[in-house]
Amino acid sequence: MKIRLDSGWLQHLDERLLEYIVTEGGARAWVIASDLDVRQVRVARRCRVLAEAEFIERERREGGADRWDITSWGLLYLAGELDADLRRPLPGLRPGGRIRPAWYAGFESATG
C-alpha cells in the first residue's frame, strides 16, 4: 500500500471513516459512530465534508437514516493514488443573516 498524501483539510477521523465504510460496505452515521466510539454529530458532519469532496456518497432513505458509501475517489485516496488536496470540498453557503462582523475582515479595528 502506498503512503497517503497529507492534506490540510482531512482529519484523522476522516481516514477512519473511509476505512470503516470500505470494510463494512457502507453504513449509517449512527452505526459508524457507535462502532468507532465517536459522537454521531461529529461523524455526520465529517461524512458531509467527505461527500462534498466526493470521497463518499449519501444514499438518502425515506423515514430512515441516510447510508454512506465509498466512491471511486475515496478508494483512490485510500490506495495512495490521489492527493486529497485535488478533491478539496467547497465551503457551504453561509445562511442568510449570518454575517461576520466588519472587524473580522479587517475593515475596522476590533476595539471599535
Domain ranges (residues) in the chain: 12-89
Task: Taking residues 37-50, report their average pLDDT.
Answer: 93
Where do we find the cell 490521489?
82
Task: Taking residues 29-39, report their average pLDDT.
Answer: 94
Q: What is the dihedral of CA 13, 73, 51, 19, to 10 degrees?
A: -30
pLDDT tens digits for 67-79? Answer: 999 999 999 999 9
CATH 3.30.70.20 is the classification of domain 12-89: no
pTM: 0.74
Q: Which helix (H) or strand (E) holds 57?
A: strand 56-59
